[in-house]
A and B are shown apart, each in its own frame.
Chain A
Amino acid sequence: MIIVSPLEPETARFPMDTSSDAQGAIVAKGVEMSFPAGNQDIQVLKGIDLSIAKGSVQLLMGPSGSGKTTLLTILAGLLTPTAGQVELLGHEITQMSRRKLSRFRLQNIGFIFQGFNLFPALTAAENIEVALNLKDIHGNSARRQALELLGEVGLKDRADLRPSSLSGGQKQRVAIARALAGKPPLIVADEPTAALDSHSGHATIELLRRLAKEGGATVLIVTHDPRILDVADRILYLEDGEIVSEDKAAISH
């Protein structure tokens, strides 16, 4: 008997990437955001222009309340700005319908959270399988890819443990593996090291950087953490809703 295993969509990587290399993977033009607060609106973002090069690791830093998370949420297609345009991989997303945007995120963006946001009822492998299931990869093929990804973050032997049995650093590595599932061209992270100690925080981001570079993904990380400065290609400083400086990383690779 011949068992035919389904072909894996190894090359279905950048399904919607229509941008040229010269263009940034993430481009914002005149992005403003205000939230209603009583009678007056408070303006949180005051005209953000930026362009993040494809394949780069970009940090977004700034004091608390400066609007970093808000900007990240907009750039990740989760929140529509009050004004301005956002182009991801050459697609203008601020005019997209909710449904289309959701589909766009599914195909193109991996998410990493401060609190890991793993599903406590599922094992490490299952957490990754869920992300693959959403991308229409099911069954054995999903299982195999999940284990592969866990191997890449060095947790193959923890595949069947639940998040509650993993250390913080391990949890964030599982979350990184999940964000990398299906090899999305964009990865966004908000304070991914805030819940980790200095050593594992640095190791985790270093791992993220390496895997992202291997896959050619563009990474945007919001952080307070000065210990991961050296991991970045570029750093954006946000202050009171405005970009105050744009640095090449202090330590180059």
Chain B
Amino acid sequence: MASIARKNLLEDIPRFLVAQAGIMFAVTLITIQTGILEGFTRSTALVVDNSKADILVSSNQVVNFELTLPIPAALLEEARAVPGVEIAEPLLLGSARWTKPGTADIVPMRPIGFYPDGQLFRLWNLTAGDIDRLKDPYTAIVDESSLDTLNAEGVGDTGQMNSLPATIVGLTQGTQSTASSTFAFMSIESAKAYATVGLTSSVRCRSNPDGELDCSTVYRTEDSETGVPPVKPLAIGDAITHILIKAEPGQDLEALTQRLETVLPEVRVMTREEMAEMTRSYWKSRTGVGFILGLGAGLGVIVGVAIVGQILYSSVSDRLKEYGTLKAMGASDWTLYRIVIEQALWMSVLGYMPGMALCLGVSVWAEASMGVTILITPVTAIGVLGITVAMCVGSAFFAIAKVTRVDPAAVFRS
């Protein structure tokens, strides 16, 4: 139908702009919310995704990568003995508090201890410093985006972690989980030191009436100790968090996973992808973050439908005489629907493009200025286009109902 739809759209420029602003708003809200959710959930599993392990061995109580119970370091040797395992390396996640002399802030930290020389956890996106420096005791590499939080300037800066000194020896980019405490990548020895500092423990056991042993661990603060103790290597009796496993070439990962789970006591064995997915879906659903961000996106759709619906409806209402004239002339209902729907499609496409451009701009800006990842994947971009089109065409419903009711017999009476 020639250009009725487009001309009608542009006939009332202010109204058109309001519609476009509404659609842009909806597109932006949906895309940004989805992007934050995607960026957020992706960030929670970054450490897993970037490890070179095929398989992770964790406590059988594991809830997600960071929320789990310790397992004995002794399992490392046992794992290495399982046929099909080429390499097994420990990963130790701790928790600590960062303070900087002269400032009052206390920052919760997540020390992540690994073998700096190891093969299965290679720190990625290093932008300054040197991984080898982690072999020095009480050193850590942090994400650039964490510097502000830590009141730190950069490489060489120092602070206190759990009353021990800590020196920043390197910086990374895009390694921080948005859901977590500030990551401090370090050697397993340093991580162990931060995890146990200030506490010495002894195990006391006593036989109970059933003839079994009741054991309890007793912690005592070493307030007498002065000076910085030397770090100690990982020992059989230490606790670690995960075992990273590389399978021998050609191994069936499924079978190896089964084997490890049978051989090692009280563990849960997952492939890297399973662990990453478990962690992502935990944060997406169990925390309600997905729901809240989804709610925001849903709100975008509702606002979009309301605005576009209202604009289309009033545009049709203003043109009832024209639609009636077309009907009298013999246009079918579908011809008229096509005009309305074409308007809706133009609105959706013309609102989507600047909306998506705005989102891409915002995501670049957010990453650069705040370290917040708004991840706009091609799937998201196409999905949002689909939603926008569906939203605009769907909101044409009332306009279409109105066009249907137009009575051509009234055409001589207007």
Q: Residues of A with Cβ closer than 8 Å to B?
A: 69, 72-73, 76, 78-79, 99, 102-107, 109, 111, 113-115, 117, 119-122, 126, 129-131, 133-134, 142, 190
Contacts and interface: CB of A to CB of B under 8 A. Distances in A.
Nearest to A68: B412
A122 B7 contact: yes
B328 A69 contact: no
B409 A122 contact: no
B408 A134 contact: no
A227 B1 CA distance: 38
B4 A121 contact: yes
Given A106-B329, A122-B4, A134-B1, 14 more contacts: A78-B411, A106-B331, A111-B325, A113-B325, A115-B414, A117-B411, A119-B322, A121-B10, A121-B11, A126-B2, A130-B1, A130-B4, A131-B329, A142-B2
B328 A105 contact: yes
B286 to A, nearest CB: 54
A132 B405 CA distance: 24
Given A117-B322, A122-B7, A134-B335, A106 B330 contact: yes
12 contacts: A69-B412, A69-B413, A72-B412, A78-B409, A105-B330, A111-B328, A113-B411, A121-B4, A121-B11, A122-B2, A134-B1, A134-B331
A121 B412 contact: no
B332 interface: yes
A78 B408 contact: yes
A102 B1 contact: no
Given A102-B327, A105-B330, A106-B331, A190 B412 contact: yes
Contacts of B408: 78
Main secondary structure of the interface of B (DSSP, over half): helix
Nearest to B322: A119
B338 to A, nearest CB: 11
Nearest to A134: B331
Q: Which of B10, B329, B335 has the most CB of A within 10 A?
A: B329
Q: Which of A114, A121, A122 has the most CB of B within 10 A?
A: A121
B321 interface: yes
B8 interface: yes
Interface in B1-26: 1-4, 7-8, 10-11
A79 B407 CA distance: 9
B329 A111 contact: yes
Interface of B: 1-4, 7-8, 10-11, 321-322, 325-332, 335, 408-409, 411-414
A73 B408 CA distance: 9
A243 B1 CA distance: 41
Contact of A107 (B1, B4, B325, B330): B330
B288 to A, nearest CB: 49
A120 B409 CA distance: 21
Contacts of A79: 409
Given A102-B330, A106-B330, A122-B7, A117 B325 contact: yes
A75 to B, nearest CB: 11
Nearest to A116: B325
Contacts of A190: 412
A102 B7 CA distance: 25
Contacts of B321: 115, 117
B121 to A, nearest CB: 65
B4 A109 contact: no
A37 to B, nearest CB: 16
Given A119-B322, A121-B7, A133 B329 contact: no
A109 B332 contact: no
Nearest to A117: B325
B2 A130 contact: yes
Contacts of A104: 330
A97 B48 CA distance: 68
Contacts of A120: 11
Nearest to A222: B412
Contacts of B332: 99, 102-103
Nearest to B9: A121
A69 B1 CA distance: 29
Given A78-B328, A134-B331, A73 B409 contact: yes
Contacts of B329: 105-106, 111, 131, 134
A134 B326 contact: yes
Contacts of A121: 4, 7-8, 10-11
A144 to B, nearest CB: 14
Contacts of A117: 321-322, 325, 411
